[in-house]
Amino acid sequence: MSASTNDLDAAVAQFRTVFAELAKGAAERDRSGEHPYELVQQLARAGFGKLRVHQEFGGFDVDLPTLFSLLAEAGQADSNIPQIWRGHFTTTEILRRETDPVVAEHWSRKISDGAVFGNAQSEPSASVVGLETVGGHGAITARVGVDDAGSRVVSGTKFYSTGSRFAQFIRAAVLDENDRRGFVVLPADHPGVQHIDDWDGVGQRQTGSGTTIFTAVPVEPHGDVGADKDALRGLDSFVQIVHLANLVGIARSAVAETVDIVRTRTRTGRHATTQDAASDPDVLAVIGTLYSRSLTAETLLKHAAEQLHSAHELDDEAAFADAYVETSAAQIGVADAVLDLASSAFDAGGSSTVRARVGLDRHWRNARTLASHNPLIYKPRVIGDNLVNGTRPVSGYYGESESQR
């Protein structure tokens, strides 16, 4: 089965309809803590989850720049959405390079039929020294065992289980029966799966990034995925660029909302040169600066997406390492630009914009939360070591570099 351009165009039109609905309630959901369950499922039914699935398995097979562009649109509507789907799209990337053809087809077709994947990699015990790691995601204590009936089951506790509350299946990082690191697929709705909504971050509050407890949860048939490390190539860049796309979406939304605030503002400050905010040169300069920061983020996102796309075309370790360096540089620039934008937006409206009902603060909180992922403080050193000494970063998904989540 192949996806025609018309099929994709029709699906994108449906995505944008859902994005519009997401945008209407984003600020209120942030205040109330309501999760966008139904809207996530509407995206799944529209085919959002199969954007990167190969056409032969019923997917749209879009390129990476197209995927990240659509994720930026989703982030503009509600920044929780790209993060909810991040684990899902990481799974589709693994499946695109999966070396077991039966596994690849089995899960790719399920995704094309509307299945959504969640994430369960990091654990509360990640700080324990000496424990095994997988995917560069810290300590792993969740294990595959065998129950009384001889079936393979997983028990353990995960945190940062982003998207799992919205999913039908969960890709979990485990130690297998031989203490090897790997990923297995688990049913998200099994009685042995307990989803705890205890994520207490300052931002990204509706991503379901809390605790998941597995108690003798059966591994799905064909449930071992990404066993060959070739299937994990480029993932560390991919997961970071998802966050960059989300930050770009936040920047767009923050600029648009600040422009609306200025247009409707009926008062200015004591030292203002006009009584009309929309013609105040200082206020207009703030808007211009916000747009400049947003454009910086947009440009860096496009650059990183194109670099990773080129690495997949070349398909060698050097190209993926180079893409990681470029992604790291983009991460620094995007985070700086969007955090500055989200903070400076308040200068355009004064003290009234800090009121909770305005909701402008959520952009900074969400951007700050996203910018804290895959710790930024290490990236300048990684880049500098590459430029000065020619040191190529090793993929964290091989369990050989610093922890990322």
CATH value at residue 275: 1.20.140.10
190 and 88 in a common domain: no
Distance in angstroms between the alpha carbons of the first and the last residue of the chain: 35
Of 8, 83, 4, 9, the C-alpha closest to 40 is 83
Domain end among 84, 116, 148: 116
Total domains, the chain: 3
Give dist(CA 353, CA 347) in Å, integer: 9
Give dist(CA 210, CA 200) in Å, integer: 8
156 and 96 in a common domain: no
For residue 69, is pLDDT > 70? yes
CATH number, residue 62: 1.10.540.10
240 and 214 in a common domain: no
Give dist(CA 137, CA 349) in Å, integer: 41
Confidence of residue 125 (pLDDT cuts 50, 70, 90): low
Helices (H), 265-280: none
Q: What is the pLDDT of residues 171-208, one digit of tens each?
A: 999 999 889 999 999 999 999 999 999 999 999 999 99
| pLDDT, position 130 | 36
Confidence of residue 129 (pLDDT cuts 50, 70, 90): very low
384 and 247 in a common domain: yes
Asked if residue 26 belongs to a domain, the reply is yes
For residue 46, is pLDDT > 90? yes
Asked if residue 403 belongs to a domain, the reply is no
311 and 279 in a common domain: yes
Q: What is the pLDDT of residues 23-42, one digit of tens each?
A: 999 999 999 999 999 999 99
Could you tell me which residues come within 8 angstroms of residue 59 by beta carbon, excluding any fewer than 6 positions away?
3, 50, 51, 52, 53, 92, 108, 111, 112
Asked if residue 190 belongs to a domain, the reply is yes
Of 95, 303, 355, 88, the C-alpha closest to 208 is 88
Structure tokens at 164: 């799992």
Q: Is the dihedral of CA 314, 318, 321, 323 positive or negative?
A: negative
The CB density around residue 358, as the number of other CB atoms within 10 Å, is 15
Local structure of residue 56 (DSSP, 8 states): G
Q: How many CA atoms lie within 13 A of 101 on its CB side?
A: 1
For residue 133, is pLDDT > 50? no
β-pairing, 143-146 vs 152-158, is antiparallel
| pLDDT, position 4 | 62
Of 308, 87, 327, 111, the C-alpha closest to 208 is 87
Q: What is the pLDDT of residues 199-258, one digit of tens each?
A: 999 999 999 999 999 999 999 999 999 999 889 999 999 999 999 999 999 999 999 999
Of 337, 366, 306, the C-alpha closest to 83 is 366
224 and 301 in a common domain: no
127 and 83 in a common domain: no
Asked if residue 404 belongs to a domain, the reply is no
Beta bridge partners of 124: none
For residue 5, is pLDDT > 80? no
Spatial contact of 353 and 191, defined as CB atoms under 8 Å apart = no
Structure tokens at 12: 């994108």
Spatial contact of 396 and 234, defined as CB atoms under 8 Å apart = no
| pLDDT, position 3 | 52
Asked if residue 405 belongs to a domain, the reply is no
| pLDDT, position 398 | 55
244 and 207 in a common domain: no
Give dist(CA 199, CA 369) in Å, integer: 12
361: phi then psi, degrees, rounded to nearest 5: -65, -25
Give dist(CA 154, CA 156) in Å, integer: 7
Domain end among 58, 88, 116: 116
Of 3, 158, 18, the C-alpha closest to 77 is 18
Domain end among 116, 133, 165: 116
For residue 405, is pLDDT > 60? no
Q: Is the dihedral of CA 227, 136, 338, 318 positive or negative?
A: negative
289 and 261 in a common domain: yes
**Which residue range(s) make up the domain with 171?**
120-228
Averaged confidence pLDDT in the chain: 92
- Tell me what the mean pLDDT of segment 358-377 comes to: 94
CATH number, residue 186: 2.40.110.10
Q: Work out the burial of residue 98: count CB atoms within 10 Å of its CB; fewer than 13 is exposed, 13-18 middle, 19 or more buried.
A: buried
CA 330 from chain centre, in angstroms, equals 16
Beta strands in 19-167 (DSSP E): 117-120, 143-146, 152-158
Of 278, 283, 171, the C-alpha closest to 227 is 171
310 and 261 in a common domain: yes
Asked if residue 25 belongs to a domain, the reply is yes
Spatial contact of 281 and 268, defined as CB atoms under 8 Å apart = no
Could you tell me which residues come within 8 angstroms of residue 27 by beta carbon, excluding any fewer than 6 positions away?
359, 362
| pLDDT, position 349 | 87
Give dist(CA 196, CA 212) in Å, integer: 6
Q: Which helix (H) or strand (E) holds 389?
A: helix 379-389
- Express as a percent the part of the chain with pLDDT over 70: 94
